[in-house]
Amino acid sequence: MFKVMVTCPFCYRPINRLFLEFVCSGRNAPGYERCQKSVDQRRKDETYSEEPMYPVFSRRWRWLPSPRRETCPRCRGKTGQHACPACHTPLPANFGGGFSPVIALIGAQRTGKTVYLTVIASHLRTVLRDRFTADVSLYGDEARTWLTENVNAIFELGTLPELTPHPATGRSEPLVFEWRRRSESLLHRYQSSYLSFLDTAGESLGTQRAIEELKFLTNVDAFILMLDPFTLPKAVQDLALPKSAPTAAFNAIDVLSQVTNILRNAEGVLRGGKITKPVALAFAKIDAFEGVLGKGHPIFRAEADDSWYDEAAGRAIHDSVRELIRDWGARDIDEHMEAHYAHYRYSALSSLGRQPDYEGLRVARGGVQPKRVADPLVWLLSWYNLVPRRDSGG
One DSSP character per residue, 13-30 reads -EEETTS-EEE--S-PPT
pLDDT the model gives residue 184 = 66
pLDDT the model gives residue 22 = 96
Distance CA 278, CA 47 (A): 25
Q: Do 82 and 17 contact (CB within 8 A), yes or no?
A: no
pLDDT the model gives residue 1 = 46
Distance CA 349, CA 372 (A): 5
- Across 91-105, 112-126, 184-198, least confident range: 184-198
3-state secondary structure of 346: strand
Residues of the chain with CATH 3.40.50.300: 102-390
Nearest in space to 83 (alpha carbons), one of 61, 48, 58: 58
pLDDT the model gives residue 167 = 53
End-to-end CA separation in angstroms for the chain = 29
pLDDT the model gives residue 172 = 61
Distance CA 23, CA 71 (A): 10
Distance CA 164, CA 56 (A): 31
Q: What is the tens place of the pLDDT at every residue in 60-89?
A: 887 788 899 999 999 999 999 999 999 999
Distance CA 6, CA 24 (A): 23
Q: Answer yes or no: is pLDDT of 139 > 50.
A: yes
- If you average pLDDT over residues 14-38, what whole number do you get? 94
| pLDDT class of 359 with cuts at 50, 70, 90 | confident
Burial track 234-260 (b if 16+ CB lie within 10 A, e otherwise): ebbeeeeeeeebbbbbbbbbebbbbbb
Mean pLDDT of the chain: 86
Query: Is 243 or 51 the better-scoring residue by pLDDT?
Result: 51
pLDDT the model gives residue 182 = 79
Considering 219-223, 224-228, 354-358, 373-377, the range whose residues carry the highest mean pLDDT is 373-377
Distance CA 275, CA 49 (A): 32
| pLDDT class of 169 with cuts at 50, 70, 90 | very low
pLDDT the model gives residue 170 = 44
Q: Answer yes or no: is pLDDT of 186 > 80.
A: no
Please give the backbone phi and psi of residue 134, each rounded to the nearest 5 degrees, phi first: -115, 155
Q: What is the tens place of the pLDDT at every residue in 260-302?
A: 887 887 777 777 789 889 999 999 999 999 989 998 999 998 8
What topology is assigned to 102-390 in CATH?
Rossmann fold (3.40.50)
Distance CA 346, CA 119 (A): 19
pLDDT the model gives residue 110 = 78
Q: Do 277 and 353 contact (CB within 8 A), yes or no?
A: no
Distance CA 382, CA 222 (A): 12
Q: What number of CA atoms fall less than 13 Å from residue 267's CA on the CB side?
A: 20
Q: What is the DSSP letter of 154?
A: I
